[in-house]
Structure 1
Amino acid sequence: MFSLKSSFFKNVLTLFTGSVLSQLITLAISPILTREYSPNDFGEYAFYLSIVTILSVAATGRYELAIMIADGDEKADATTYLSLIISLLAGGFVLIIAIILKSFGMLVRYNQLLFYASFHVMFIGFYNTLYHRLNRYGRFKMISMVVIIQSLVVAIYQIAFGFINPRSIHLIVGNIFGVVASVSTIIFLDRGIGGIFKYSGMILEMAKRYINFPKFDLWAGLFNIGFQQLPVILITTLFGTTNGGYFSLTQRVLQAPVSLIGGSILGAFRQKAVEHFREYGHCSRLFLKVMYFMFFVAIFPTLLVLFYGKVIFSYVFGSQWEMAGLFSQIMILAFLARFVASPLTYLFYIAERQAWNLIGQVLFIIVTFLGFFIGYKFDSVILGLVIYTAGNCVLYTLYLYISYLFSKGLYVYKR
């Protein structure tokens, strides 16, 4: 489907290799962690990560997405600088909120977590910004190295403290250390990063040029991440932290291929798609090749989980996680749809139709709320998952269709 000699395939292979090793580390330690930490610990950890992940969307104002499409390297570096500054301010804002809440004795249970979250959000903003900069300049080997280092640091910390003192806080701190390690590695290896500061005079110009990213895509991103993290929050709140833990593990395992292969394809696809648009005004052939590739890669694992999810989870993670296996059987079709669509929906950014994306993310949020509140009304987390999965399949199919129209050059914003 892709020529072995093509630069696209080589870039995919480079990113895929790093992602494979990174995800293999994550998956390899999962059976260890599920025997060290309880489903309740995983539920609390998932709840914290859901909040941090949602906050992190706003950490850069979504300007990191403009780094890829900026006209010229100077503008790209100026946008990088802008995104880093916003990340610093975002972390400081969360820290101030934490201090204020603590001084008034509010949300006492979550005060410590908010202090952790302030640094976590800031470094995730740094990481996302620097990652997109590396992607723009085709430094795929460095990206692969960074994601491997991040997974290794997280794995070592979480396993070590799971053996010494298995508590959810150590799952959290391990994740923070992983992001800090990845940012530090990029700064150390990317000697050209210091050059971005000479474009500080262009920051306001870039902020205005790409204002649609914070104006529209920030909200779309919040709804998108909110939609992905909302189930954990809703399940933990409505059905308890243990069910939240089951969902967390299920999401962690099923999301791995999306991050592993989908993330690798995305990194190469967005670069090649931008090139095709600049040269031809469309990328429909590339779109179809990637879509078919993603579907055929995913169909066999999907069928395997669909029929044997409970058996697989019980064997790999321990009998106490059998319910997570049932969750996986219900949710697998939604993850198949997400897997196929994940790299291709980047066309919403190339087409600069952030407002359309915002509408779509609102629909995802509505489906998620409806699903789990109906499940809560009937006291059935299973019913909630079924409705959530069905809604996801429909909406991702719609996203694919609209992305295909964009790939043909239709409805693309004319600069």
Structure 2
Amino acid sequence: MKKLISTSFNKFKQHEFSKSVATLATGTIISQIIPILFSPIISRIYSPQDYALVAAYSSITVILTIIATGMYDSALMIDKEDSEAINTGSFAILITFLVTIISAIFFLLYGRSVTRWIGSDDLGFWIFLAPITILFHGFYQTLNVWNNRKGRYKRMASNRIIMTLITTSATLYFGYLGFAGKGLILSLIIGQAISFILLLIQTIRNDKEMFHFISWPLIWRSAKMHKHFPIYNMPQGFLDGLRESGLIWVISFFFGATALGSFSFAKNILMRPLQVIGNSVGNVFFQKASKVYHETNDIYKISKKTVIGLFLIGFPFAIVIFLWGESIFTIIWGQTWVEAGKFSKILIFWLLLNFIASPLGFVPIILKKQRQFFIFSVLTAAVPTGLFYFLGKTGYNIETSMIMYALTNIFFIIVFIKWIDLIIKKVCVPLPISS
């Protein structure tokens, strides 16, 4: 009888997991279909040089948005009680304010120097918008994790659709006005700002009774309790951002704006369908795995099921791109993006493995293995980017350099998956109640 009840409960949890993923995935599918449908028009309005500009802007903001919350937004997911989580989230918002103010002062003083250093003088005035991006990203991310904690997947899905609709509409509008790459930057900021305001209104309406749990002593208590997040997770996230940004800077420095724009466009196009499922699964996996770990101390089954499922979903897409990527890019997005099609064939299996492994990035947070994860992140940030820099400096062409970069990343992802498998088996000993 006990075994029957346990089996039924496990089936229910699996159904609940799939239903939650489906809800988020539906919203993500719609939100990704919108820009994909309009991408043949957008690709003929904007040039590779325009995409190089927004890539340069993102290379700066992606690093700062990672540290915007001190990684306390992730911490609020693992708090056992909402009364604890609301104070953790409050501290994340305070840090976002602080990082925004510091970055605004920094860019006012050194903004022009930064654009020259990364080899993108065209950014000019637009670099001063970076603090706005940091502010809205930090606020939105904290609210999004809170709603994920509360299981409000329909809200998260609809908000994502609204963000994409606004961003795509703004992209077309600014392109029509001839804003070029600046239009891509403005579109991102406007889409994020409006979606944050909407999510804020919805969250306050549902959770205003939680405000009375907020107090300075409890905020500082949460800050101290989760201090390992800024100590280990934030540097690890910073290194991930630096790896992504470093690649952009190296491509721009050695191979020019056209190559950077083609790379950015190819990666953006490939990531859209992968993110349809990847982000949805990742959000649900973090919430469900955290809950399962507190209840049973065992997340091996849910981790294994997630990895296998993502592989079965992503592999056919990767094969299609590898065989016909160049033709697909030329036919759909125009002759201007032939080089992007070549890059897509090189990048696809790295992006596939990254897609498969991405939810597992939450496992070190759940199991409190951030210190070990940080050491691993140092290697994954330094070695591939360092290799790409060396190849560019010694005169190798961009295709050869990108192939070696992709293969190096594939190696590190395989090692990461194996490490996660080992620590789950070592740490996650099922509690007697789960048997």
| Aligned-residue offset at 1:19 | 0.6
Alignment of 1:8-407 (within 5 A): 8-101=17-110, 110=123, 112-190=125-203, 191-195=205-209, 197-198=211-212, 199-201=214-216, 202-376=218-392, 377-407=394-424
Q: Which letter maps to 1:404? A: D
* Aligned counterparts of 1:335 and 1:160: Cα–Cα separation in 2: 31
Distance change (3 Å), C-alpha of 1:110 and 1:253: closer
| Aligned-residue offset at 1:41 | 0.6
- Alpha-carbon contact 2:298-2:428 (below 8 Å) kept: no
* Aligned counterparts of 1:102 and 1:378: Cα–Cα separation in 2: 31
* Aligned counterparts of 1:222 and 1:306: Cα–Cα separation in 2: 31
- Deviations 1:274-309 (Å, cap 9, x if unpaired)? 122112111111111111111111111111111111
| Aligned-residue offset at 1:273 | 0.9
- Alpha-carbon contact 1:81-1:197 (below 8 Å) kept: no
| Aligned-residue offset at 1:188 | 1.5
| Aligned-residue offset at 1:229 | 3.1
- Kindly report the root-mean-square deviation, in angstroms, between the aligned alpha carbons of the 2 structures: 2.2
- Alpha-carbon contact 1:283-1:408 (below 8 Å) kept: no
- Alpha-carbon contact 2:299-2:428 (below 8 Å) kept: no
* Aligned counterparts of 1:205 and 1:123: Cα–Cα separation in 2: 26
- Deviations 1:306-333 (Å, cap 9, x if unpaired)? 1111001111110110111110111111
Distance change (3 Å), C-alpha of 1:378 and 1:79: same
- Deviations 1:250-278 (Å, cap 9, x if unpaired)? 11012123322111111111111112211
Distance change (3 Å), C-alpha of 1:105 and 1:208: closer
Distance change (3 Å), C-alpha of 1:27 and 1:287: same
* Aligned counterparts of 1:2 and 1:256: Cα–Cα separation in 2: 31
* Aligned counterparts of 1:405 and 1:323: Cα–Cα separation in 2: 40
- Alpha-carbon contact 2:53-2:122 (below 8 Å) kept: no
* Aligned counterparts of 1:115 and 1:36: Cα–Cα separation in 2: 25
- Alpha-carbon contact 1:78-1:197 (below 8 Å) kept: no
- Alpha-carbon contact 1:247-1:327 (below 8 Å) kept: yes
* Aligned counterparts of 1:229 and 1:365: Cα–Cα separation in 2: 10
* Aligned counterparts of 2:137 and 2:273: Cα–Cα separation in 1: 21
Distance change (3 Å), C-alpha of 1:103 and 1:260: closer
- Deviations 1:167-215 (Å, cap 9, x if unpaired)? 1111001000011011111112121454554313211111110001101
* Aligned counterparts of 1:333 and 1:272: Cα–Cα separation in 2: 28
Q: Which letter maps to 1:145? A: S
3-state SS in 2 of match to 1:342: helix
Distance change (3 Å), C-alpha of 1:411 and 1:111: farther
| Aligned-residue offset at 1:245 | 0.3
- Deviations 1:30-71 (Å, cap 9, x if unpaired)? 221110011101111111012111110010000000011012
3-state SS in 2 of match to 1:240: helix
| Aligned-residue offset at 1:411 | 8.0
- Alpha-carbon contact 2:48-2:257 (below 8 Å) kept: yes
- Alpha-carbon contact 1:37-1:162 (below 8 Å) kept: yes
* Aligned counterparts of 2:57 and 2:399: Cα–Cα separation in 1: 23
Using the size of structure 1 for normalisation, the TM-score is: 0.94
Using the size of structure 2 for normalisation, the TM-score is: 0.90
* Aligned counterparts of 2:270 and 2:101: Cα–Cα separation in 1: 34
Q: Which letter maps to 1:358? A: F
| Aligned-residue offset at 1:166 | 3.9
* Aligned counterparts of 1:102 and 1:358: Cα–Cα separation in 2: 29
Distance change (3 Å), C-alpha of 1:134 and 1:215: same
Distance change (3 Å), C-alpha of 1:353 and 1:326: same
- Alpha-carbon contact 1:92-1:118 (below 8 Å) kept: yes
Q: What is the percentage of aligned positions where both structures have the same residue?
A: 28
3-state SS in 2 of match to 1:352: coil
The aligned counterpart of 2:432 is: none
Of stretches 110-119 and 187-196 in structure 1, the one that deviates more from structure 2 is 187-196
3-state SS in 1 of match to 2:99: helix
* Aligned counterparts of 2:385 and 2:111: Cα–Cα separation in 1: 31
* Aligned counterparts of 1:193 and 1:234: Cα–Cα separation in 2: 45
